[in-house]
Structures are given as C-alpha cells and as structure tokens.
Structure 1
Amino acid sequence: MTDSSLYSLIWMSRPLMQAAEASVEAGLSGTGLTVRMRAVLEMLHAHGDQTVPEIAQRLEIKRQYVQLMVNETGAAGLTEPRANPRHKRSPLLSLTETGRALIDGVVARERALVDRIGADLDPAEVDAALRIVQTLTTRLKSHAKDMP
C-alpha cells in the first residue's frame, strides 16, 4: 500500500457520504421525511426508545441539533415522548405506529438498493474495507482528541 492510496481512501469518504446522502434523500421522496428526520427514526428503529442525549451520542452530533430533529419528528406524529424511569427531565423518545411503519418501509427500500449496488462485490473485500474504515475512524478520532 502506498501513502497516497491511504490518503485517497480517507478523502473518498466525503464523496461517498455525499452520494449516500443524495441517494437517501431521493429515496425519501414522497414520504414527508427529511434526511435528518430519517436519522432520528433510524436510531429509534435500530436501538429502541432513547433520550435525546443518547441519540446525539450515537449520531455523534450536538444534543441541541438532535432536539431540533426530534421536534420535527414529533410535530409530524412520527415520535412521541414517554416517561423515563431513569431520568425525570429527559424523556424517552419512541416511534409511533406511523413512524415505525414509515421507517420500516424506508429501511427496506434502502437495503434493497444496497443489495443491488453491491451484488457484484466480494463479501470478503467489503468486510476488509469495513474493518479498515473503522480502524481509520478510531485512529483519526484519537488523534483529534490528542491535539492541543
């Protein structure tokens, strides 16, 4: 491996994420969801009821921004707050039946797309790529924390 290959791999993350976001956004057409609303629904779909701080931690974004996202999903009737036995001032956020049905459909369409675009990729190479990206992400985060 050359240094320039690793450098290129790291910087390809931006166009990859932009293409993924554009594809996700196109897949949301007609659902009434925005990409950021979808992110909240995805977290609740994947991990169950959560507080705003828990969602923020998983998405690695500021809690205040997640609160805006949660406000949108609540106003659309896709999520609802529930009592949190662990913390009185930080309610658990839950999917409503409408929200669950909507995110189930979105995730199913996205998984079908991933199956189509990845049909000719070697699963071992995909696993290796995933391990490399995870390692690079961890190392770059650690480096950023160590900087003055």
Structure 2
Amino acid sequence: MYNVNMKAEHLHRLIWMSRPLMQAAEACVEAGLIGTNLTVRMRAVLEILDKYGDQTVPELAARLEIKRQYVQIMCNETLASGFIEQRSNPRHKRSAILTLTDRGRAVIEEIIAKEMKLVEELGENLSNEDVATALAVVSAVTDSLKKRAGESE
C-alpha cells in the first residue's frame, strides 16, 4: 500500500469514480432515449443548441470539450435525422450555423424535463450543501488536472 494521506486517498478515489459515474449516467440517458430515434451523441448536440442557441461545429466542440472532427460526425448524424438544420454563416463561409428544428426543440425539451425529474429524485436524500460542495470539489480537481495537462479553458 502506498503511504499517502487520507485526503489524497479520497481524491484519488474521487477521480477514479468519475468513469463509473459517467458510464452509469450515460446508461440512464440511453435508456431515456428509447423510442426517440436519438443516440446519446445526437442528444448532446441537441442539448447544447437548446441551451446556448445556434452554434457552429467548432463552437459545439468547444462547449462539449471534444475534438472538432468527432463533433462534425455527431452533427452530420443529427442533421440527417432532421432534428437540426444548417444555415449559412455570414462570418465564415465554410462553417455553417446549426440550429434546432421545431421537432428537435420539442424532443430535447421533453427529454431534459424527464432527466431533470430523475435528477431531482436522485438528490432527494442529499442536502443542497453536500451537492454544492461535491460540485466545487469536482470542478477544482478538474481545473487543476487540466492545467497540469497543459489544457486551456
């Protein structure tokens, strides 16, 4: 066993718990998409467009913190579904602006409403202070790891 202090041990466990947390969250999201003709990737595109408004692929990539090439694949899939459409971009001829269709807006708003109900249920036994502390700790650890890895925000 390594000789580390308890705080370091807890932080190490917190970091390693992020993978099972994300896998469990993704499984719940995926289950909630049954019957919508959406994939988890498409849902992510719709959520960003719903939350932040019209975006280009590079803007979406920055918000999702994913490489632009991968987000382009996600957007192509979502465009083909009819949940989003593209418009010309007066600022950049080669980078179209993506926008939700009425159908896309309706489906993502319904999905988010269901997900928020689930999140409220998950938090029933947690205090506001505990959730705020957890968020602050995860944010601080994430920021510190990104700086050490040489990433910029």
2:15 counterpart of 1:10: yes
- For 1:82, which of 74, 87, 105 is the aligned residue? 87
Task: Give distance in 2, aligned partners of 1:31 and 1:121.
Answer: 31
> Equivalent pairs: percent with the same residue?
60
Task: Give distance in 2, aligned partners of 1:86 and 1:119.
Answer: 46
Q: 2:57 maps to which residue?
A: 52
Task: Give distance in 2, aligned partners of 1:56 and 1:77.
Answer: 20
Could you tell me which runs of 5 or more consecutive residues in structure 2 were left unpaired when the two chains were aligned: 1-5
Give, in angstroms, the shift of residue 119 of structure 1: 1.1
- For 1:43, which of 42, 48, 52 is the aligned residue? 48
Q: Letter of the aligned partner of 1:126 in structure 2?
A: V
- Equivalent runs, 1:66-105 vs 2, <5 Å: 66-105=71-110
- For 2:69, which of 54, 64, 74 is the aligned residue? 64
Give, in angstroms, the shift of residue 85 of structure 1: 2.2
Give, in angstroms, the shift of residue 50 of structure 1: 0.2
Q: Letter of the aligned partner of 1:82 in structure 2?
A: R
- Equivalent runs, 1:18-29 vs 2, <5 Å: 18-29=23-34
Give, in angstroms, the shift of residue 88 of structure 1: 1.7
Which stretch shifts more, 66-75 or 137-146?
137-146
Q: 1:124 maps to which residue?
A: 129
Question: Under a length normalisation based on structure 2, what TM-score does the superposition of the two structures give?
Answer: 0.92
Q: 2:3 maps to which residue?
A: none
Could you tell me which runs of 5 or more consecutive residues in structure 1 were left unpaired when the two chains were aligned: none
- RMSD (Å), alpha carbons: 1.1
Give, in angstroms, the shift of residue 142 of structure 1: 0.6
